[in-house]
Amino acid sequence: MLTRPFVQISNGLKWMKDPCSLLDLMAARHGLAFRLDLPILGNCLITGDPDLLAAIKNHPNLEAGKGIRALRRILGDGSLITLDGEAHATRREIIAKHFRADQSQAVDALTVDVMRSLYEDLPDGDFSAYSLFHEASLLVILRFLFEDLTLKELEDLRSDTLLFLSAFSSAVVLFVRPLQIDHILFPWGRALNHRRNLEKSILKFSRRQNRASQIFAEMEEAGSTNETACAEILTLLMFGHDTAAAAMSWTTSLLACHPEVLEKTREDAAIRKRKQSSVQQISSLQSASLYSAEDFVHGSILESLRLRPVVIHLSRVAQERIELGEYALLPGEFVLPCQYVAHRNENIFKDATSFLPQRWIPDIAKQEETKLTSAFFPFGFTDRLCPGMPFALRQMQIQLQTVLEYSWAAKKDPEPRRQMVLVVPESGGTLVKLK
């Protein structure tokens, strides 16, 4: 019989390399909820069961911020994603108003120009969808937060951000504390050094009149320090583009592997374009809804977020002994609401392993929104819903509509691979640029 440390290490290696295959295996054996013994997290409960998820959502004795361990030492204790309770609610209110859809319109035209420029500069042949969308999304979020920068300043800030993000070649260093050595010879030390340089740039440019400076001022008024405000901007830079880029790499890869769906999506994108009188209105058809789509452009994104969520689970920590259905959690034990498992629930999503964007179009298939809120949550749920969701959905639709102006095809159907805390297509989703 295998000892617990061996089981933990074995599960941990699978979890770090290919979590989706491990979740598929466990769900096939145990259904929508099961225990999984993992390093750091322990014998945690993983669930995609809608009844358990509904119970988890607003449970008073489950905290979310305390469940963020891997990123805490990078982002600190004062970042939005590591906060709980009233502190989290106050911070979220400050951040969310800057990422509403009406605020996001400020970079609509820029997003189109950036996508066209980057795509047209690609050489003929293979390219990484993730790299394309990553570069585009980073430029847009930087300009969104620091709209007054010169081109040289923008490039310097972009360079500092990329140095920080590229300091980690593996997510292992986030989880294994002995590897977290603050010395320039070690990955962790280089990451912290790049973070310090990035913080200096953020502080310098946040003294201007821009959206970042507004966030600084509002956080200071709420009692935050400059250090905490800087960490929040850093968090926005990290998650304000990387998750969307990963999602778009999955969307384009899935479309390319389904030519008939790709053709229908191109047709809908062309219809959108004919109805729009200016580039500023390019996403005028866009709805903020996460549960229904008006066409295949929007539907393809929602279906990609369902089938291939880039964040595969959330984290909650029991503050005292609680019961969730047949499961009992002791104080300090983790429960992971799992998007990957929930989104493949055949009781909610017929043909759950198939890529079917039409399932989100109300005229074809309808679902009660109240039913879906406990079954589909790519941006989190309840008061932990990502405050940047309206911005992200808008950006993704504009990016997809723009890249559909060009011809590209699939190299192959990519397998999922972990990249830090995200799950992305292997090799970034290799596509082929066609003439």
Most confident of 260-264, 270-274, 283-287: 260-264
Q: Which domain holds residue 87?
A: 76-309+351-433
In a domain? residue 342: no
Over 50: is that where the pLDDT of 240 sits?
yes
Residues 333 and 318: beta-carbon distance below 8 Å: yes
In a domain? residue 201: yes
In a domain? residue 194: yes
Tens digit of each residue's pLDDT (9 = 90 or more) over 171-194: 666 666 777 777 777 877 888 898
CATH number at residue 368: 1.10.630.10
Q: Is 278 exposed, middle or buried (0-12, 13-18, 19+ CB in 10 A)?
A: exposed
Rounded CA-CA distance 23/18 in Å is 9
From the list 88, 144, 103, the residue with the least C-alpha distance to 385 is 88
- pTM score, two decimals? 0.92
Categorize the per-residue pLDDT at 285 as very low, low, confident or very high, splitting at 50, 70 and 90: very low
Q: Residue 277: its pLDDT value, please?
A: 55
Q: Residue 314: its pLDDT value, please?
A: 94
In a domain? residue 21: no
In a domain? residue 337: no
Q: What is the mean pLDDT of the chain?
A: 88
In a domain? residue 37: no
In a domain? residue 25: no
Tens digit of each residue's pLDDT (9 = 90 or more) over 331-381: 999 999 999 999 999 999 999 999 999 999 875 555 556 677 789 999 998
B/e letters for 5-41, b = 16+ CB within 10 Å, e = fewer, are: eeebeebbebbbebbbebbeebbeeeebbbebbbeeb
In a domain? residue 319: no
Over 70: is that where the pLDDT of 39 sits?
yes
Q: Residue 182: its pLDDT value, please?
A: 78
Categorize the per-residue pLDDT at 253 as very low, low, confident or very high, splitting at 50, 70 and 90: very high
- Which backbone phi and psi does 45 adopt, to 5 degrees? -95, 125
Domain count of the fold of the chain: 1
Tens digit of each residue's pLDDT (9 = 90 or more) over 60-113: 999 887 767 667 777 777 888 888 889 989 999 999 999 988 888 889 999 999
Helix axes 129-145, 226-239, angle to 10 degrees: 150
The length of the chain in residues reads 435
Q: Tell me the two tokens of residue 209.
A: 């009149």
